[in-house]
Structure 1
Amino acid sequence: MKSYKNLRFWILSLVTAILVISIVSLIPHDGYLRYQLLDVGTYKKSKWIYERVHFSKTPIDVAFFGTSHTLNGIDSELVEKSVNAQLDTPRHVVNFSIPHFGRDMHYTLIKLLLEKHKPELIVLELRESEARDLHPGTHYLADSLDLLNAPLILNLRYPGNIIRVPSRNLKSLLHELAYPFTDKVLRNDDVADHNNMALSFYDGRSRDIFISREELEKQRAAEQKAAPYKYQPLPEWKSYLFYNANIEYLKKIKALTDSKNVRLALLFLPEYGTTSIPLRHPLIQRDIPLIKAPMSFYQRDDVFNDLGHLNKRGAIVMSELVAGEIVGRIAN
């Protein structure tokens, strides 16, 4: 009889714990608070992204999404000026890129944008290959149900993301209850149209940085040794194991933009020394437009400040090139 009571106690405790965790995981709370939780370094840009989408009266016609490659390689203000110099009707451009690869972050931010705006074009970063991991910061920003419905196959972040959901939601709710007016009074229309660091760092220092060809070649050789899968074709089974989680999010992004009748394009921003575009990429295979510089651009040592990131000179060239592509796609 005693063992039966103990078993009943533990079963009841387990059911109660699961119920409490489930309820907390689905607690409704203000999304703006979630976007303030990711407050480390450049990731703080997520707060501005939410404000630009929700609180600014300035439209969003073209939006860039990607990693630090796009963050350092595209100046939205320069793109906007160049585009508007060629069109009769002004367009408004934003760069919503956040450091680190992970298509789950891109999906989360694109979904946020399309809930409030219908841009003419979304430009999504493309690299030599998809990443093997998802983004380390998505669990701060994504809706609870989106985290629960994330791909399972080789998504190494799934358990950690789910475990963090209850505490994240509870923290946001408690903040909202304790300070009900603190953030709301800041919700005005005085939101900067642009948030860039392609031409200069946030502290004003110029990104007019150069590195020798020898050093770039050394960095590329080291990367080829550390991560050869990035530069070489893989067997089908290995490609699936490596990239399934990110490719699933690419499919979700494509389905989402299609459902909103928003055009999607890819922007090729690989590392220094790249000589060809990815040969087997699901979005390219489905005829999604690809924006890229001439291949000779990616061999230039004067436009990179390290293996993966353009410097100020490279960002200017790339921004102006992309502006021309945007004009052609919008005009047509």
Structure 2
Amino acid sequence: MIPISDLIEQLRSRGARRVALQFPAGLAREAPGTSAALRDAGFEVIVSGDACYGGCDLALDALAYADVLVHFGHAPVEERPDVVYEPVRIDFDLSVLESVVPLLKARRIGLVTTIQHVHLLDGVAAFLREHGVEAVVAAGDGRTPVPGQVLGCNFAAARATGADEILFVGTGVFHPIGIRLSTRARVVALDPFTGQAGVVDADRLVRRRAALMEKARDAANYGIILSSRSGQRRLDLARRLVGLSEKAFLVVMREVSPDALLDLGFEAYVNTACPRLAYDDQVRFPVPVLAPPEFEILCGARSLDDYTIDEYLAP
């Protein structure tokens, strides 16, 4: 899964002797084998054991013990000379696309996926072309450097297609729902491993979030969460949100946890850290945690009709 020989060549070309390794949860079990291979190649190896939430969450502390940090599983979000990004490619059988063709209404669609599958997009587009569908793959912004790549917090590549219908190839429901809210396009999602395909409905999420906004409306105070993680820090946004309400105060956090929010005592929070926290983890939080566009709606700075998903876009 991990191209060790290519990685060794990269590290040697940089003159690295001590190497720190960082793995997301899905690749963490690759740590022992990768460490052994690099040590056999002559490198001193240290593994970051902290949780990793994406390419935005670099284990920069580990660089105190190493010349280079190797971050596995994600494309670059922030470029640094002392960080090597090693995205992991995951293949699937293109015949799985047979199940999605009948669901596509447009003859010209946008095509997006996650970094694990972007190397297959040319093949996916060719398959669709054979079935009478033109697939447009577009570049996103600086946080999604590979054409056709979307993140759970960035759907710029989907918007850039300009298509009224978009096909997302990947697992999970969050990415396609985000694409739907971000683009207003008709979105079809295909799980390339199960072959399950369907049209995405974001209404349930919007209803849930609207109820949460109402719950937070009469809060006596709001903590505006600012992340101290290097790739999740949106200081300008956090300051702007504080300026929308006299009841809002800036709160700097590295780990946004239920206990920490409870201990701080604010009646509601607004999350400017990883956008997915507000959506994925709300059931764990003791009080409402709003996304920035939702707080803007509460403060009258945005209309409810202009509801959208929170994204972390390149400057």
What band does the TM-score fall into relative to the shorter chain? under 0.3
Task: Give the greater-gyration-radius structure (CA).
Answer: 1
Which has the larger share of helix? Answer: 1
Structure with the greater relative contact order (CA < 8 A, sep ≥ 6): 1 or 2? 1
TM-score by length of 2: 0.25
TM-score by length of 1: 0.24
Which has the larger share of strand? Answer: 2
